[in-house]
Amino acid sequence: MIQHSACDKCAFRKEICEVVSENEFQEIYNNTEQLTFKKGEIIFKQGTEARYIAYIISGLAKLEYMTTRKMTQIAGLISGPVLIGGNYSMSGQKNILSVIATEDCQVCLISYQVIRSRAMVNPMFGLKIFDMISSAHQRILENQLMLSCKRVPARVAGILLLLSEQIYKSDYFSLPLTRRDLSYFISCSEENVIRTLKSFEVDGIIELHGKLIKILDFKKLQTVYDVG
C-alpha cells in the first residue's frame, strides 16, 4: 500500500501509535479518505449522518450551527492540525453542527465505524480519540464563554487577538470570515462589527484594507479586550 507522503510526519499518527500497533493503525488508515476541501466547502453538514471524524492537517474551518428558527450561529474557528467531529459524542448518530472550510483544508476523514470498533477492543485508543476531540471542543467552548461576558468592542478585539496570536501568529492577516460571519460569531449585528472595526482604525489600533488587517497597537487592542 502506498501511503500519503505526509503520513510519516503526521502528528495524528504519532499520537495514535502511542496506543495502537502498526497493524491497528493500518486498519484505521485503510478506512481513511484523504481530501482537500476548498474554501466554502462543507466538511460535515448539520443534521446528516455522523459517518466520520476529521483530522484537519492544515487549513482553517468554522463550526456553524443553524437554529430551528433558521438563525445562524458560529461556534468557533479551528485550525489544523486538529481532530474534530460534527458531534461532541463518539456515540452520536447525527452531526449536530456543520464544519465548513474558511480556507483550503487538507483533511483525513476517518470512519467512525472503525474508530468505534477499535475502541471496543482497545480502550486506550478510545480514550486517546476522545481526549483529542474533547480538547478541540473545549478550546472552542472556552473562547465562546470568554467572549459572551464582554461588550461588542471587546468581542471584536478578542477575535482579532485570536486570529493574530493563535491562528496566524502574525500582526498582518486576511480575515477568514465576512463581516456577517463575524456578527454570527460574536452575537451582534453586522453593522456593529463594521462600526467597531472602523473605530479601531480611527483610534490607530488596526489598519484595514478590505479583508486585510494589520494590528498596529497590540497593547491598546489587549486593553479593549481586558476592560470588556
Q: Contact, 218 vs 178, CB < 8 A?
A: no
Q: How is domain 150-227 classified at the architecture level of CATH?
A: Orthogonal Bundle (1.10)
Which backbone phi and psi does 50 adopt, to 5 degrees? -85, 90
CATH code assigned to 7-137: 2.60.120.10
Across 62-70, average pLDDT? 91
Whether residue 35 has pLDDT greater than 70? yes
Whether residue 36 has pLDDT greater than 90? yes
Rounded Cα distance between 21 and 121, Å, is 12
Across 172-176, average pLDDT? 95
Across 135-164, average pLDDT? 91
Domain boundaries defined on the chain: 7-137, 150-227
Predicted confidence at residue 90, as pLDDT, reads 66
pTM metric for this prediction: 0.89
Q: Contact, 220 vs 171, CB < 8 A?
A: no
Which tens digit of pLDDT belongs to each residue from 69-112? Answer: 888 999 999 999 999 988 876 666 899 999 999 999 999 999 98
The domains spanning 7-137 and 150-227 adopt the same CATH topology? no
